[in-house]
Amino acid sequence: MFTKLSHLALAVCVTVALSATSQAQATCGNTGAAGITCTPAGTQTTVTVQRVVFMSIAPAAAALTAPTNLDFVAGGTTVKVDLAAHVVTVRANATWALTIKGSAWTGTGNNAKAIGDLAWSKTGGAPFTAMTNAAVALNNGVATASVITTLAYQTNWALVSDSPGTYTMALTFTITAP
């Protein structure tokens, strides 16, 4: 009795294994004269494409124009504008949004400078938007092979409060594809 049950269990296992294998493949066969064809039904390919986003920023570090003595002839403050300081290129296969934010100025000397002393524009001129330490919408779009956003910067300088030294502000660009 035990042997019959063992053979029955083995037969069931082999049947289940073979049926699972046959469902995982497409086959066909044909016999005949030359020119016959065989086309299995149900063959397919599958791939899952994830969201793709790409951003490049050139140059990595934008050099801003420093004020000179001549810039302060008319008074104690001046504004320097740097056109096309950063070029941001975006590629994406879905809708996307680009933001920018700044951080506190750092560097040498006594350079306690307000974050809003740096402003940006994507039109290359007025109006400029004062930099903040919170992310601000810069650009957005739909799936694209290439969208280029060119940024100009405007820096406010004050002769009595902007001490000699190097001023640096870290910028954070973030791209999201919701």
pLDDT of residue 108: 81
Percent of the chain at pLDDT > 70 equals: 85
Residue 153 has pLDDT above 60, yes or no: yes
In this structure, the number of other CB atoms found within 10 A of the CB of residue 146 comes to 9
pTM for this structure? 0.76
Query: Could you tell me the maximum CA-CA distance found in the chain, to the nearest angstrom?
Result: 111
Percent of the chain at pLDDT > 90 equals: 62
In the structure, what pLDDT confidence band is assigned to residue 39 with cuts at 50, 70 and 90? confident
pLDDT of residue 10: 38
Residue 43 has pLDDT above 60, yes or no: yes
> How much is the mean pLDDT over the chain?
85
pLDDT of residue 24: 61
Q: List the domain boundaries for the chain.
A: 53-176
Least confident of 4-13, 22-31, 110-119: 4-13
Distance CA 16, CA 75 (A): 90
Top-confidence residue, 102 or 41: 102
| CATH fold of the domain at 53-176 | Immunoglobulin-like (2.60.40)
Distance CA 173, CA 178 (A): 16
Contact predicate 28/38, CB 8 Å: yes
Residue type present at position 78: T
CA atoms within 13 A on the CB side of 116: 2
Model pLDDT for residues 70-106, shown as the tens digit of each residue: 999 888 999 999 999 999 999 999 999 999 999 999 8
pLDDT of residue 75: 86
